[in-house]
Amino acid sequence: MTLQDKVQRSRLYDTAGLDLAPKSLTQVKKTENSSEGLNVFLSLAEPEDLVPRAQGDLTGVMVAVKDNICTEKLPTTCGSLVLKGYQSPYEATAIRKLREAGAVIIGKTNLDEFGMGSSTENSAFGPTLNPIDQSFVPGGSSGGSAAAVAAGYTRMALGSDTGGSVRQPAAFCGVVGIKPTYGRVSRYGLVAFASSLDQIGTIGATVLDASLLLEVISGHDIRDTTSVERLVPSYRDAATQSIEGMVVGIPSEYFPDELDPSIRAILDEACERLVDAGARVQPISLPHTEFAIPCYYILATAEASSNLARYDGVRFGTRMPSDGLDQMYELTRHHFGSEVQRRIILGTYVLSAGYYDAYYAKAQKARARISQDFKTAFQEVDIIFTPTSPTPAFALGERISDPLAMYLSDVFTVPANLAGIPGISVPIGMVGGLPLGGQFLGPWWGESELIAAAGALEASYGDNT
């Protein structure tokens, strides 16, 4: 079987009744415009734009792109009325690399506004539905991209991961999601939410799909000062490598007593499968994990309040008619949704005089401690295995009025962003008819080890995850 055959092959989710054979643009349009539409895409390419510009590893493969990654021919709205209809004058480096590999962009996917959310319910253009069960959320903020792959609209999709926004929706939709090491993939053309945390990540129907896509978009970029000049290994080869002798750490902080017994049983089985594949499992501790959520929501909101200051009606996006500059600012920024406004206010508060040291400076110290926890752990183990999320997907509307409950759905994913380490989520079973994801975390630049472990675990299940 050739690599191209592997990329295009179908993976069946018998439990959910989903056939992940890639669909044509006509099929996608027909489904999305029907009563069964999932509200996955905010814009779709024209048929004439689905012609590869080059020959490469992804020739003719359709890729969905989260609508906070700039493209030339399709709008980049970030799921916000502030950027409704905005057309970027340039393309992101990741998009350029996709086109050079022969991929075609099928469309731009729905997201929580500016990437701020965990359910894709915060989009100004309505929520995306989970293809497994449409009464549940697909996760967020890359819910549109995860749903596109889970529904079989496309084999691969790009998302962005600031605090778990690729891995958590991948887990909720039963697909694979990878967050690379910070600096592995260029952020040029990714609309900024929290610049020290944001990374473009990949979603695929299989580990191979997500890994090949990551390999294509990785590499140094002079347009991004946080991009690191470092050799990109063959991630596609890593997907089938042996994990014989690999030491897998199991952090006690990610397996609390209140974890649902049915979820714990699936995680325990996954650990047994890793051992059967040749790995050794070892308990570890990441003692500062409890500070991850408050630390993240201080730092992320602080950076968001600065990054989103540019949407003032002067340079680009929506400009509201007004009688003066102050009124124009106010009316224009009133187009932000409630969650974005909440985070801007929180971020402005923690950066304000008198509160900077009490909140922002302490959060930076906590971030350093969390990062040190991982450094210490990786002196003992090769990779770490955890749940991706404390629960499977939750029902539409269940947490939209409870921000704290929504934020806690990312409790197992945000530490990787704070430390800048890579992570991958892979399906490991079903709970109540909904997918459950297992997460591997690795040392800086350790994507190959994560992919090998995820590939081995995926192979142990066959087509029954």
Contact 206, 178 (CB under 8 A): no
Phi, psi of 261 (to 5 degrees): -60, -35
Q: Determine the Cα–Cα distance for residues 460 and 31; give it in Å rounded to an integer.
A: 33
Q: Using alpha carbons, list the distances in angstroms from residue 170 to 122, 148, 161.
A: 18, 11, 11
Q: Which of 165, 211, 227, 409 is catalytic?
A: 165
Q: How large is the greatest C-alpha to C-alpha distance in the chain, in angstroms?
A: 70
φ, ψ for residue 135, nearest 5 deg: -90, 0
Question: Does the annotation count 66 as an active-site position?
Answer: yes
Residue 141 annotated as catalytic: yes
Least Cα distance to 260 among 392, 439, 443 occurs for 392
Residue 281 carries which side chain, given as an amino acid letter?
V
Cβ contacts of residue 310 below 8 Å, gap of 6+?
none
Query: Within the chain, how many helices (H) and strands (E) appear?
Result: 15, 13
CA distances 94 to 63, 154, 175, 456, Å, are: 12, 18, 21, 27
Spatial contact of 83 and 340, defined as CB atoms under 8 Å apart:
no
Alpha helix positions (H), 277-337:
292-307, 325-333
Q: Which of 141, 186, 211, 305 is catalytic?
A: 141
Catalytic residues: 66, 141, 165
